[in-house]
């Protein structure tokens, strides 16, 4: 929505002139033939940043997660996953539908962790009555929340002691890295594979990368082809990803500061259901107002907000600025002073 203050998601960012320029001049070749120099450059850069042997470019985070799950698990295997995790709840059930992988959902704590006791308890003994427990997946950030690095180490250590593989859905791992001051490779260290979205806060128009050991990435390459993700002159997209990794990581701190300010602005008018901002996200479950009327009022003022089912989700990113937050404040003042419909 051009011209809006669009807080629905950090996926709405549009490439700026500098990013479009590197895309326009990118050296390209056929990436299925492994012939695309710019794609290779992005993959090498991602592998290095994430501390893994190899990396592979994907059209979406959903496909990179699915290829990872299928590289770790075969038909009839099982993966342990949070009941509110993206791979379980928001990827169309792909692991089960396309991978024949049984999800074993476990309760996500409000901070995005799964208790170590719950993980240990869910690992099935080697018994033909059970699916084979093969993999633990975690997500960081989880609804904007950063997982404690000590927890990541404990959970991945536990998985390893039981012979499980580990996958990190790190769609917004760079937000976690900037928020904690821990490098991404440190946050990804305990995991075999990690998926990172370039198309969210990092501002690329398309793309994710999956990083991991060479053998799993080779398996993921075959799966990517099977899933229809073997794209050709991807250098044009990879160039945007390289630009994003070079220019748009440290600035995520601005998004986090802006989300904190937005939470303060909103808290003056409304209860924040789930506390203050977490990295670049603010969640609200407003009970005292008509959420749909409030959303419509904001939309009339050029402010778009995400969330569904009575929740509001505000996400900060490259394409909203301090003036956007000022306009939210002015809109709230009008709405709650009686100038707006309640
Ligand atoms: C966005 C997201 C993905 C992948 O989404 P795509 O839209 O398929 O790129 C995966 N996991 C999490 C946590 C996400 O937020």
Are 21 and 155 within one domain? yes
How close is the Cα of 197 to the center of ligand 1, in Å? 7
Does pLDDT of 143 surpass 90? yes
Are 214 and 257 within one domain? no
Q: Is residue 6 part of a domain?
A: no
pLDDT tens figures, 176-207:
999 999 999 999 999 999 999 999 999 999 99
Pocket test for ligand 1, best of 8, 58, 61 (most atoms within 8 A of CB): 61
pLDDT tens figures, 45-67:
999 999 999 999 999 999 999 99
The alpha carbon of 14 is separated from its chain's Cα centroid by a whole number of angstroms, namely 17
pLDDT at residue number 271: 75
Are 231 and 283 within one domain? no
Are 64 and 172 within one domain? yes
How close is the Cα of 219 to the center of ligand 1, in Å? 21
Q: Tell me the C-alpha to C-alpha distance, in Å, between residue 145 and each of 289, 301, 327.
A: 26, 29, 26
Q: Tell me the C-alpha to C-alpha distance, in Å, between residue 10 and each of 57, 201, 258, 302, 315.
A: 20, 5, 13, 17, 6
Q: Token pair for residue 155?
A: 């959970």
Determine phi and psi for 212, rounding to 5 degrees: 175, -170
Atom of ligand 1 nearest to the CA of 169: 11
Q: Is residue 10 part of a domain?
A: no
Q: Is residue 38 part of a domain?
A: yes
Q: Is residue 187 part of a domain?
A: yes
Q: Is residue 329 part of a domain?
A: yes
- Identify the domain containing residue 304 by its residue range: 251-339
Are 227 and 312 within one domain? no
Q: Tell me the CATH number at 259.
A: 3.90.1150.10
pTM for the model stands at: 0.96
Domain tally, the chain: 2
How close is the Cα of 307 to the center of ligand 1, in Å? 15
Are 211 and 66 within one domain? yes
Last residue in a domain, options 247, 278, 309: 247
pLDDT at residue number 33: 96
The residue nearest atom 5 of ligand 1, judged by CA position, is 61
Q: Tell me the CATH number at 190.
A: 3.40.640.10
Are 118 and 182 within one domain? yes
Are 58 and 169 within one domain? yes
Pocket test for ligand 1, best of 146, 169, 237 (most atoms within 8 A of CB): 169
Pocket test for ligand 1, best of 13, 62, 228 (most atoms within 8 A of CB): 62
Q: Is residue 2 part of a domain?
A: no
How close is the Cα of 11 to the center of ligand 1, in Å? 9
pLDDT tens figures, 205-218:
999 999 999 999 99
């Amino acid at each position: 929505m051009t011209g809006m203050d669009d807080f629905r998601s950090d996926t709405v960012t549009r490439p700026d002139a500098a990013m479009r320029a590197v895309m326009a001049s990118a050296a390209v070749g056929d990436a299925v033939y492994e012939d695309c120099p710019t794609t290779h450059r992005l993959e090498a850069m991602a592998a290095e940043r994430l501390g893994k042997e190899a990396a592979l470019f994907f059209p979406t985070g959903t496909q990179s997660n699915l290829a990872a799950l299928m590289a770790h698990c075969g038909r009839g295997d099982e993966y342990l996953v949070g009941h509110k995790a993206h791979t379980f709840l928001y990827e169309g059930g792909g692991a089960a539908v396309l991978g024949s992988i049984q999800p074993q959902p476990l309760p996500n704590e409000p901070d995005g962790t799964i208790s170590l006791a719950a993980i240990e308890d869910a690992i099935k003994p080697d018994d033909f009555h059970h699916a084979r427990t093969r993999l633990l997946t975690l997500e960081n950030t989880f609804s904007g929340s950063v997982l404690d690095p000590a927890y990541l180490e404990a959970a991945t250590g536990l998985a390893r002691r039981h012979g499980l593989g580990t996958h990190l859905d790190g769609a917004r791992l760079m937000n976690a890295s900037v928020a904690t001051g821990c490098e991404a490779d440190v946050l990804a260290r305990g995991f075999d594979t990690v998926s990172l979205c370039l198309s969210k806060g990092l501002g690329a128009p398309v793309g994710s990368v999956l990083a991991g050991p060479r053998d799993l990435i080779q398996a993921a390459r075959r799966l990517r082809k099977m899933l229809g993700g073997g794209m050709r002159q991807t250098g044009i997209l990879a160039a945007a990803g390289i630009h994003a990794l070079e220019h748009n990581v440290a600035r995520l701190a601005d998004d986090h500061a802006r989300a904190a300010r937005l939470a303060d602005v909103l808290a003056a008018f409304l209860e924040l259901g789930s506390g203050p901002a977490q990295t670049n996200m603010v969640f609200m479950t407003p009970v005292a107002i008509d959420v749909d009327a409030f959303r419509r009022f904001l939309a009339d003022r050029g402010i778009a907000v995400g969330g569904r089912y009575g929740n509001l989700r505000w996400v900060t990113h490259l394409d909203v600025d301090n003036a956007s937050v000022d306009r939210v404040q002015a809109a709230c003042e009008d709405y709650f002073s009686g100038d707006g419909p309640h």
